[in-house]
Structure formats: C-alpha cells, structure tokens
Amino acid sequence: MAYNDTRITVCGTVASKIAHTKVGTGFSRVGFRIHSREQRFDRGRDDWIAGPNMFLMVTCWRELADNVHASLNRGDPVVVHGKVRVKEFNDAGRTSQFIDIEAIAVGPNLASCTAHPIRDAEGPIVVPPRREDELPLAFAGLSLNRPGSGGPDSGGPDPGGPDPSSPDQSRRPGPGSPSDHGHPPVSGRPPEVGPPPEPNLSGPADPANPAHPPVGRPSEADQPKEVSKAPF
C-alpha cells in the first residue's frame, strides 16, 4: 500500500519503439516514450494553436507489458494512466531528472483510431442480457396487469377454465341442484368421518343384535367351576 502517490492520465502518441525485455525474475518489461501536446482553438485567428511539446517515459510490467508490445507501434494514439515517478540519471557527469509513468492501464485512443479487442482466456466473461422469461418473479408479475395480457385484471375468461359456450358445460348442474339421474348433488368436500365408537366393555348386550354380546366380560358358561377333590 502506498500513500500520497500521484497518478495522472496522459493522451498522446507513441514516440519511440516499444522496447520489450525480460528482467531477472522472468517478468516482462516494456518501455516507450509518449509525446503529448496541447491544442486549443483561437477564435480570433479561427485556427488551432499548438502548445508546448511534452515527452514522458512509460514503463509497463508483466501482462500489461506483453499486451502493449503485441498491440502498439510508433505513431499510435494512446491513453496512459499510471503513477508518476521522478527518476535521476547521470549525463556526462551531470545528474539529470526525467518523469516516468509506471503504467496501470494503456489503451488506444478511440478518438483518433479504431480498435478490435481480442480477449485472452483469463479475460472478463461477456454475460448476455436476460430474456423476459428469465426475469425475477417480482418483475415478471408486473406484466400480468397490463392491458391485453390476459392477466387477472384483464376481464376476460380464464384460459385454464372450462369453456362457457360448450354444451356440456352449460348443462352441468351447479352446486346445490339435483343431478340428471336424481341423485343428491355431490359437494366438492368429502364427508367428515368421525372416530369409531368405543366398545362397550361392561354394558348389557345389544337387544337389537343378540349375536354380538358385550366384549370384555365372559359369560357364566365360560366361568371356571370349582372341581371337588377325589379322595385317594
């Protein structure tokens, strides 16, 4: 993490050859010069006036360096964004300074040229737009209330319901009316079935059904009788 670093964006033209090298760690490094010059329109002269020339050094590393070396040439209009570094060098016994931009992003200036990007395998994935049937339910439900959409508020017949113009549907009896065969109407709900009656364990037998005596108490015939002991 760096504090108080200065970042700039420069629009200009590649003014030197793209020098591609490999450093000791195996990373790629690219260096080139960029030429930028301000141009402003003078209404009094009705012409463009060129400002002073500015030459800056640009340094790129790793994948950015490889892509710059494969994409740009001298004279191409570019846009460079990066960190400003002031470096010193020895020129015939004198110490001089120059400004170097450690590039973060480099690309063609589409105001002066066209480009055809080619993404590598690790590039961003292009996501197609969603279709109408892939929208969330919160948005898909809004189309039900539109006029003519056949939704609940459209006032038309239910597409999934019966056809009122069909002769079979017009002769179908409604709820509560007798059917054509004289049977009572069948409601939509099944009859409620209560719990089975508890067996009578101590009461008398049912006089209407003598074949079923009360369950649980044995009859007198089934009671064990006392057996007298035979003398020996």
> For position 17, which CATH number holds?
2.40.50.140
Q: In this structure, is residue 227 part of a structural domain? A: no
Q: In this structure, is residue 120 part of a structural domain? A: no
More confidently predicted of 190 and 108: 108
Mean of the pLDDT values across residues 29-39? 92
Q: In this structure, is residue 190 part of a structural domain? A: no
pLDDT in tens, 79-103: 999 999 988 888 888 888 888 999 9
Mean of the pLDDT values across residues 224-231? 55
Q: In this structure, is residue 82 part of a structural domain? A: yes
Burial tier of 32 (Cβ tally within 10 Å: 0-12, 13-18, 19+): buried
- The pTM assigned to this predicted structure is 0.49
| pLDDT class of 117 with cuts at 50, 70, 90 | confident
Highest mean pLDDT among 32-36, 154-158, 210-214 belongs to: 32-36
Domain assignment of residue 75, given as a range = 7-108
Q: In this structure, is residue 99 part of a structural domain? A: yes
Q: In this structure, is residue 114 part of a structural domain? A: no
| Domain count within the chain | 1
Give CA–CA dist 99/81, Å, rounded. 14
**Spatial contact of 78 and 106, defined as CB atoms under 8 Å apart:** yes
Q: In this structure, is residue 167 part of a structural domain? A: no
Helix locations, the chain, DSSP H: 62-71, 137-140, 167-170
Residue 89 three-state SS: strand
Residue 164 to residues 152, 176, 180, Cα–Cα distance (Å): 18, 19, 19
Q: In this structure, is residue 91 part of a structural domain? A: yes
